[in-house]
Amino acid sequence: MASTGDLYDELPKQIERMVDDERITRMIHSFSYEWLRLDRHKSMDTDVGMYRDYTRFVKEDMFKETYEFIQHILKNDLSIMNFIDSDFAMLNQNLAEFYGIDGVKGNEFRPVTLPKEEHRGGLLSQGSFLNGHSDGVQAHPIKRAVWLKEKILGDSPPPPPPNVPELATDTPGFEKMTLKEQLFLHRNKTSC
């Protein structure tokens, strides 16, 4: 086929056949579970005292959001850039309510247009990814940055130097600081 030039005619048909095959669902689940490290989301014990609306149903729907999102992009031949930044999310009523998005009714997942100013589209802002790269209480932008550097850019960061101190939790007002402020304070230490 390749030597006769027929491959270019046949390739789109075969891709469409594969995308329409029911086995693609298993591939999407396996691929996203491994690539996005959704095992971390599965095993994460989220602080329900801090996140009172977080239930096992929300947790399960966060998995489904990711799977449905990837499947929607593949089946509709959308740009791969949607994985990084999209103007939609795949939501059902339960997850939309958890995220504070109005107007979504029912259990079925569907594309929901997101406000541009919120910058919530893409895989990296989905609950399964964010929760899986946290500690169940606080977000961990460093864990997400390491994942991004390794999985998207293909470049593993070096391990931290052995003499890097812990965050100075005894600093006055530390507990009222945002994580960004805490990291800024930490980064400005001479040992960092």
Q: How high is the pLDDT of residue 191?
A: 62
The vertex-157 CA angle with 138 and 154, nearest 5°, equals 105
What are the tens digits of pLDDT across the range 171-180? 888 888 887 8
Q: How high is the pLDDT of residue 102?
A: 94
Q: How high is the pLDDT of residue 101?
A: 94
Could you report how far apart the first and last alpha carbons of the chain are, in Å? 58
Q: How high is the pLDDT of residue 57?
A: 96
Q: How high is the pLDDT of residue 2?
A: 66
* pLDDT at residue 54 tops 80: yes
* pLDDT at residue 107 tops 90: yes
Q: Backbone dihedral region of 37: left (phi > 0), alpha (psi from -120 to 50 degrees) or beta?
A: left
Average pLDDT over residues 32-59: 89
Band the pLDDT of 88: cuts 50, 70, 90.
very high
Residue boundaries of the structural domains of the chain = 7-156, 159-192
Burial class of residue 96 (count of CB atoms within 10 Å of its CB; 0-12, 13-18, 19+): buried
Q: How high is the pLDDT of residue 53?
A: 92
CA atoms of 17 and 47, how far apart (whole Å): 44
Q: How high is the pLDDT of residue 192?
A: 61
- Counting Cα atoms < 13 Å in the Cβ hemisphere of 188 gives 6
CA atoms of 100 and 144, how far apart (whole Å): 23
CA atoms of 126 and 111, how far apart (whole Å): 14
Residue for token pair 């056949």: 17
The pTM of this model reads 0.78
Band the pLDDT of 168: cuts 50, 70, 90.
confident
Task: Work out the number of other CB atoms within 10 angstroms of the CB of residue 2.
Answer: 9
Average pLDDT over residues 88-107: 97
Q: How high is the pLDDT of residue 86?
A: 96
